[in-house]
Structure 1
């Protein structure tokens, strides 16, 4: 599957998840998971969709190992971070020991994914041919 399509499809799935969570919170008047809802919508729907649009607009940018690293980091980091944040916000006693490693690993993966994406964008827009 093309990298652009992977990101676009994942973005739409995450948009449905984020909107569904928002709908549930509104219907139940329980807004404890608002930070999860916001992050799923921003990092999931918006960022993933923008990644997909970039790779669609600059298909050569998807060549090589760096875009694959970007995808792996972005796609793995978000669910780790959202799971950790959900456990923390719900204060699930039996799972609280997982929160610190998840809230270190998840955001770190997301940030490294964004750094990789920045490198892809700069490489793809420097006027030279894409290689790597």
Structure 2
């Protein structure tokens, strides 16, 4: 299974979860979790979909251990951040150290992505076949 497909699937699932949370908040007029809703939509949907589309556009960039590390750090950070942020917003910061670690992991995953993007886009284009 490709890293592109994995990011695209996670992005689509995140959109569903983020939208469902938004509908629930609106129906209950309880907006305490709006930062979680925003993070699910931004980190989960927008970022994961963009990562997937990048790897789809640059298939060579999806090879090797860097993209796998990028995916692992992104997913792990995302899956730890969302519930720990929700608990913090509900005045139960029991997972604050995990939340901080997940944020560091997410920034690290973005650093890996920046490196991957630069490596993929700095390669010289091969001459077109005549």
TM over 0.5: yes
1:124 is aligned, of 103, 107, 120, to 120
What is the CA RMSD across the aligned residues, in angstroms?
A: 1.2
- What displacement does 1:128 show? 4.8
The answer as to 2:90 corresponding to 1:90 is yes
Q: Residue in 1 aligned with 2:61?
A: 61
1:111 is aligned, of 101, 107, 114, to 107
Residues 3-46 of structure 1, C-alpha deviation per residue, up to 9 Å, x if partnerless? Answer: 11100000000000000000000011000000000000000000
- Report which of the two structures shows the higher radius of gyration computed on alpha carbons: 2
> Could you tell me whether the CA contact under 8 Å between 2:18 and 2:37 is conserved in 1?
yes
Q: What is the aligned length?
A: 125
- What displacement does 1:102 show? 1.7
TM-score by length of 2: 0.92
Where structure 1 has 5 or more consecutive residues not aligned to the other structure, the ranges are none
- What displacement does 1:98 show? 2.0
TM-score by length of 1: 0.91
Distance, in Å, in 2 between the alignment partners of 1:98 and 1:47 is 24
Q: Residue in 2 aligned with 1:32?
A: 32
Where structure 2 has 5 or more consecutive residues not aligned to the other structure, the ranges are 126-130
